[in-house]
């Protein structure tokens, strides 16, 4: 805020203060995700074939955003300055709220590693939108947030849906199917394979009709597994989805990782289809959990994967 300007235009400042009397500093947060359980091409109820995915939400790491409305300014700024997608989310959210002229400053604070496919930029975008809403004491539906996220980015994971599991059209920003309740909690051994992929560089595979048909039984199985809170079956779905993905966007050492998971007693493997993060999925109720995990960690080191982290999605 420029003090000199303020002194020159006391009248204008007073008017803006009235307009923005409902605003205060707004806060927003959004979870990241740990890649996907399922990603491919799916038929919508109208027969259209759409790229879609089911995200594995990971609430322990969050992006936070603070929006400070500035009644004296028409401009919007962000820090750190490179978070341009978050800034564009602020603009889109203000438009959606009917406040296209509001100025202000957005501060992003995120502990999510970028470019691993953890949805760091989507989390910033959603946190920013929520911060803007909070500043104006308004709320937007999950569907509208999803649309804003897809507009602000090219593709977005559905991290704004935190109460159910959805099959989401990541490039169009709508739900293809409400799949069922939230994914049950699991323990994850996570690591990376290959180089990071930037969301904007990722090109969706060209799926044939055979590919299209391959995803059908998987979609059915995920529906069944969610309805039955069946983590082992969910892990089968994600392993299959990762295997199909290998044909299109192969991850190095994936076969070795699969056999380590199998021999080490993991339920399955899940990946970031457009990133390089990989997770071995374990049941949190497993009595031998820690032994299994350290066994897998050792075997991973044997194939050159030295860094891995063990955590839970709950």
- The footprint of other proteins on this chain (CB under 8 A) covers a number of residues equal to 20
**Footprint of other proteins on 29-68 (CB under 8 A):** 45, 47
Query: Could you tell me the smallest distance in angstroms from the CB atom of residue 296 to other proteins?
Result: 24
- Which positions from 194 to 233 touch other proteins by CB under 8 A, shown as an x/- string? ---------------xx--xx-xxxxxx-xxx--x-x--x
Query: Could you tell me the smallest distance in angstroms from the CB atom of residue 239 to other proteins?
Result: 10
**Footprint of other proteins on 229-258 (CB under 8 A):** 230, 233, 236, 240
Q: Are 159 and 3 in contact (CB under 8 A)?
A: no
Beta carbon nearer to other proteins, 16 or 219: 219
Query: Could you tell me the smallest distance in angstroms from the CB atom of residue 232 to other proteins?
Result: 11
Identify which of 139, 138, 135, 147 has the alpha carbon closest to the alpha carbon of residue 106: 135
Query: Could you tell me the smallest distance in angstroms from the CB atom of residue 241 to other proteins?
Result: 11
Beta carbon nearer to other proteins, 241 or 276: 241
Q: What is the DSSP string of 19-66?
A: HGGG---EEEEEEEEEEEEEEEEEE-TTS-EEEEEEEEEEEEEEEEEE
Beta carbon nearer to other proteins, 60 or 246: 246
Beta carbon nearer to other proteins, 148 or 225: 225
Burial of 265 (0-12, 13-18, 19+ CB in 10 A): middle
- CB proximity list for 210: less than 8 A, separation 6 or greater: none
Q: Which helix (H) or strand (E) holds 21?
A: none
Query: Could you tell me the smallest distance in angstroms from the CB atom of residue 54 to other proteins?
Result: 14
Cite the DSSP H helix spans in 74-230: 84-96, 120-135, 142-152, 209-227
- CB proximity list for 222: less than 8 A, separation 6 or greater: 37, 38, 54, 179, 234, 237
> 282 - beta bridge partners?
187
Q: Which two tokens stand for residue 239?
A: 């392993």
Beta carbon nearer to other proteins, 147 or 240: 240
Query: Could you tell me the smallest distance in angstroms from the CB atom of residue 223 to other proteins?
Result: 5
Query: Could you tell me the smallest distance in angstroms from the CB atom of residue 221 to other proteins?
Result: 5
Beta carbon nearer to other proteins, 11 or 209: 209
Chain centroid, CA 212 distance in Å: 24
Q: Which residue has the tokens 């109208």?
A: 46
Beta carbon nearer to other proteins, 49 or 201: 49
Residues engaged in binding other proteins (CB under 8 A) = 45, 47, 209-210, 213-214, 216-221, 223-225, 228, 230, 233, 236, 240
């Amino acid at each position: 805020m420029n003090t000199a300007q303020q002194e020159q235009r006391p009248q204008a400042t007073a008017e803006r203060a009235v307009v923005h009397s409902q605003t205060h500093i707004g806060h927003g947060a959004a979870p990241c995700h740990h890649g996907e359980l399922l990603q491919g091409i799916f038929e919508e109820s109208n027969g259209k074939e759409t790229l879609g995915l089911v995200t594995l939400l990971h609430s322990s790491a969050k992006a936070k955003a603070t929006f400070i409305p500035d009644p004296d300014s028409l401009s919007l700024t962000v820090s750190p300055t490179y978070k341009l997608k978050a800034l564009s989310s602020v603009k889109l959210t203000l438009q959606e709220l009917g406040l296209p002229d509001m100025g202000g400053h957005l501060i992003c604070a995120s502990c999510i590693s970028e470019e691993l496919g953890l949805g760091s930029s989507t989390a910033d975008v959603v946190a920013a939108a929520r911060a803007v809403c909070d500043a104006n004491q308004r709320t937007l539906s999950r569907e509208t947030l999803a649309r804003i996220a897809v507009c602000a980015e090219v593709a977005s994971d559905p991290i704004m849906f935190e109460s159910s599991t959805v099959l989401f059209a990541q490039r169009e920003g709508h739900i293809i199917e409400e799949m069922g309740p939230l994914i049950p909690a699991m323990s994850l051994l996570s690591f990376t394979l290959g180089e990071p992929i930037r969301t904007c560089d990722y090109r969706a595979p060209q799926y044939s009709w055979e590919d299209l048909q391959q995803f059908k039984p998987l979609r059915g199985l995920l529906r069944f597994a969610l309805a039955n809170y069946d983590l082992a079956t969910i892990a089968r779905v994600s392993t299959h989805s990762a295997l199909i993905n290998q044909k299109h966007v192969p991850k190095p050492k994936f076969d070795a990782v699969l056999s380590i998971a199998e021999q080490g007693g993991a339920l399955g493997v899940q990946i970031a289809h457009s990133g390089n993060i990989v997770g071995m999925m374990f049941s949190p109720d497993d009595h031998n959990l820690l032994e299994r995990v350290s066994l897998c960690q050792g075997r991973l080191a044997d194939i050159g994967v030295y860094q891995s982290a063990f955590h839970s999605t709950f």
